[in-house]
Amino acid sequence: MTGPDQRTHREVVSFVRRSTRMNPSQERAWANRERYLIEVPRAATSTSIAETAAVGWPAVFGRRAELVVEIGSGTGDSLVAMAGAAPDRDHVAFEVFRPALASTMIKLQQAGIENVRLVDANGVEGLNRLFGTGSVTELWTFFPDPWHKSRHHKRRLVSTEFADLVADRLVPGGLWRIATDWADYAEHCREVLDPHPRLVNVDADSSDLTPRPETKYERRGVAAGRAVIELAYRSMP
């Protein structure tokens, strides 16, 4: 793999791993996870990915196709619908909450979707270590944790360091899609990404983008009076 490996390594992560307790349906899905889950070698922690890890995505999917990566796929509401609407693309989603992964597997199976694989690991390390320069067509980061308190801002996913990695991994003209229901986080994203030399702010409401369905999490935010803000950045050579 090529690219800025050292500068994207950090001990502070943008997530907190929650309980792994599952209901019976999730337990059954997890027991048969080999259909959808890609196992990766670990480094020091249970959500880490070893620096030597590698995945041959054409071999995994049995074809060569455009790759879409989602970091923080939750229970898969957006992923399942959007992957189903784009069968010509292959989708790799990172999520560290195992019950959410199991729920995603249930939805994938029910929908008969085969162009998705899941990784139970830190998505930043995954993007860095499992994908080469110019290999990702789209990156999705929908509703990342806003980490409101100033002392926690270092945990925010969107940073100059991460933007450097995204710009490197996206194909020329590739797209980074962001959604948030926190206005201050959207402003943070613009402050970080608008000046980036290899990313250009584009119309997130463009009709040529795969429609993103409204999720349960999103509906809760809207019910609480928060507006959903969509951002999109296109990579430059």
This prediction's pTM: 0.89
Write out pLDDT tens, residues 206-227: 777 888 998 888 888 889 889 9
- The catalytically annotated residue of 145, 164, 168, 203 is 145
154 labelled binding-site residue: no
Rounded to whole angstroms, the Cα distance separating 82 from 86 reads: 6
Q: What residue ranges define each of the domains in the chain, with the CATH number in brackets?
A: 24-235 (3.40.50.150)
Q: From first to last of its 237 residues, what are the pLDDT tens digits of the chain? A: 445 544 444 456 645 556 679 999 999 999 999 999 999 999 989 899 999 999 999 999 999 999 999 999 999 999 999 999 999 999 999 999 999 999 999 999 999 999 999 999 999 999 999 999 999 999 999 999 885 656 646 769 999 999 999 999 999 999 999 999 999 999 999 999 999 999 999 988 877 788 899 888 888 888 988 999 999 999 998
Binding residue per annotation — 233? no
Q: What is the pLDDT of residue 10?
A: 47
Helix crossing, 98-111 with 24-31: angle to 10°? 80
Is 95 annotated to bind a ligand? Reply is yes
Measure the CA–CA gap between 71 and 221, rounded to whole angstroms: 20
The pLDDT value given to residue 126: 97
Amino acid at 70: E
Known active-site residue 5: no
Interval 44-90: pLDDT, tens? 898 999 999 999 999 999 999 999 999 999 999 999 999 999 999 99
